[in-house]
């Protein structure tokens, strides 16, 4: 099993708190990760809330019955806890009673909780997002030299654990993951009735990675109104599949203001959606794939290390663009990326004029490691 970067943090939380909320898409192996952090496997009670019968049993309980339902097990791991209608009551009961159990809630979609309770969980550090494998996790297992040799595979197939450990089954796994995550179990409280149009919308977003998008334009092309496009993107963000990044502006001439770009949090999902797993030598979207992989990895790294940052892109009406901007502690770091290390990206003159204090960085296959691991 590949050692997970976040495992020590999870162990620390299990030792000092009685509740933990783990968020992340199916396939990131949340359950296996938590179980690996528990020494006594016999102390685990696994509950699968995606099963209707199990949900009915738990939802039929009165508040005082929750703890007896868990029995004498110390670690209660509830898969797909977001499906439980009484999830908030269960959390409050465990917090109020301060019982000697560890309740770990594994959610593949953002749970619906009272904002105040959610804020408390976040402020106490009791909410952790689990991503597909981090670049460092894979490199630690394979070795840096071997990782670099296999980098093209990561850019095409992504970093889900099953994809990395069983590459022969990667396409099958990713296609099934898209089907399960998007079309059957996206949101527990809101059905997606326009699956074909949702897929078309995702394909459009996949082909326009890093580009400023218009909800209206995307809607016209896939047969949805712009409000539905915006809602679907929000749902996919809450399912930990997409990351929407706004444009950076300061009311300078020609700057775009009210638009976003969308990235996938894993390249494999993106390529499964467009049904293209060809190698890089047969593709015309190498730079887009490279950009998506870099940005997703950077977001994962920052999140795991507790580095608070705001993310943007920058573009003008005259089509000058910076791919990625990270704002942290009042400082701007701006990046342009190219897969071909022989080429040098051109930094827009207007960006340098408007933001002379911003650091400018070029990302290619020889410089990416420092970017991904910078603290």
* pLDDT tens digits along 156-182: 999 999 999 999 999 999 999 998 877
Please tell me the distance from the alpha carbon of residue 278 to that of residue 288, in angstroms, as a whole number.
14
Residue 139 is predicted with a pLDDT of 96
Question: Between 283 and 180, whose confidence is greater?
Answer: 283
Confidence of residue 188 (pLDDT cuts 50, 70, 90): low
Does 191 score more than 70 pLDDT? no
Q: Domain boundaries in the chain?
A: 7-129, 142-372
For 7-129, CATH number? 3.40.50.300
Task: Tell me the average pLDDT across 173-202.
Answer: 79
Q: By C-alpha distance, which of 261, 296, 270 is closest to 372?
A: 296
Task: Tell me the average pLDDT across 117-134.
Answer: 94
């179990």: which residue's tokens?
A: 185
| Cβ contacts of 77 within 8 Å, gap of 6 or more | 31, 34, 35, 44, 45, 46, 47, 104, 106
Confidence of residue 185 (pLDDT cuts 50, 70, 90): low
* pLDDT tens digits along 307-325: 999 999 999 999 999 999 9
């496009």: which residue's tokens?
A: 229
């400082």: which residue's tokens?
A: 331
Judge contact between 101 and 94, C-beta under 8 A.
yes
Residue 232 has a CB neighbour count (10 Å cut-off) of 25
Mean pLDDT of the chain, nearest integer: 93
Residue 335 is predicted with a pLDDT of 97
Confidence of residue 186 (pLDDT cuts 50, 70, 90): low
Residue 327 is predicted with a pLDDT of 97
Say what the pTM is: 0.94
Task: Tell me the average pLDDT across 336-344.
Answer: 91
The proportion of the chain whose per-residue pLDDT surpasses 90, expressed as a percent, equals: 84
């Amino acid at each position: 099993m590949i050692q997970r970067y976040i495992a020590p943090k999870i162990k620390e939380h299990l030792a000092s708190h009685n509740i933990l909320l783990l968020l992340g898409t199916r396939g990131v192996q949340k359950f296996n990760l938590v179980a690996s952090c528990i020494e006594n496997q016999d102390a685990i009670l696994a509950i699968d809330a995606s099963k209707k019968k199990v949900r009915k049993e738990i939802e039929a309980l009165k508040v005082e019955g929750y703890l007896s339902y868990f029995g004498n097990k110390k670690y209660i791991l509830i898969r797909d806890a977001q499906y439980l209608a009484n999830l908030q009551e269960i959390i409050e009961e465990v917090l109020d009673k301060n019982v000697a159990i560890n309740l770990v809630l594994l959610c593949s979609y953002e749970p619906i909780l009272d904002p105040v309770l959610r804020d408390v969980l976040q402020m106490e550090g009791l909410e952790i997002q689990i991503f597909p494998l981090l670049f460092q996790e894979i490199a630690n297992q394979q070795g840096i030299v071997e990782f670099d040799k296999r980098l093209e595979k990561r850019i095409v197939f992504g970093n889900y654990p099953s994809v990395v450990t069983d590459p022969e089954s990667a396409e099958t796994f990713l296609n099934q993951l898209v089907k399960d995550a998007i079309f059957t179990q996206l949101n527990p409280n809101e059905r997606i009735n326009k699956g074909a149009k949702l897929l078309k919308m995702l394909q459009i977003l996949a082909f326009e990675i890093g580009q400023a998008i218009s909800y209206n334009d995307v809607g016209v092309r896939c047969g949805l109104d712009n409000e539905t496009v915006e809602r679907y993107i929000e749902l996919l963000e809450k399912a930990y599949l997409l990351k929407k990044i706004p444009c950076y502006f300061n009311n300078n001439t020609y700057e775009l203001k009210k638009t976003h770009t969308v990235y996938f949090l894993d390249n494999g999902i993106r390529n499964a959606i467009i049904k293209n797993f060809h190698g890089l030598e047969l593709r015309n979207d190498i730079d887009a794939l490279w950009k998506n992989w870099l940005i997703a990895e950077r977001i994962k790294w920052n999140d795991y290390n507790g580095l608070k940052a705001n993310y943007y892109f920058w573009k003008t009406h005259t089509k000058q663009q910076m791919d990625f901007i990270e704002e942290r502690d009042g400082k701007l770091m701006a990046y342009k990326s190219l897969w071909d290390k022989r080429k040098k990206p051109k930094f827009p003159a207007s960006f340098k004029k408007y933001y002379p204090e911003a650091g400018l960085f070029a990302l290619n296959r020889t410089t990416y490691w420092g970017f991904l691991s910078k603290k």
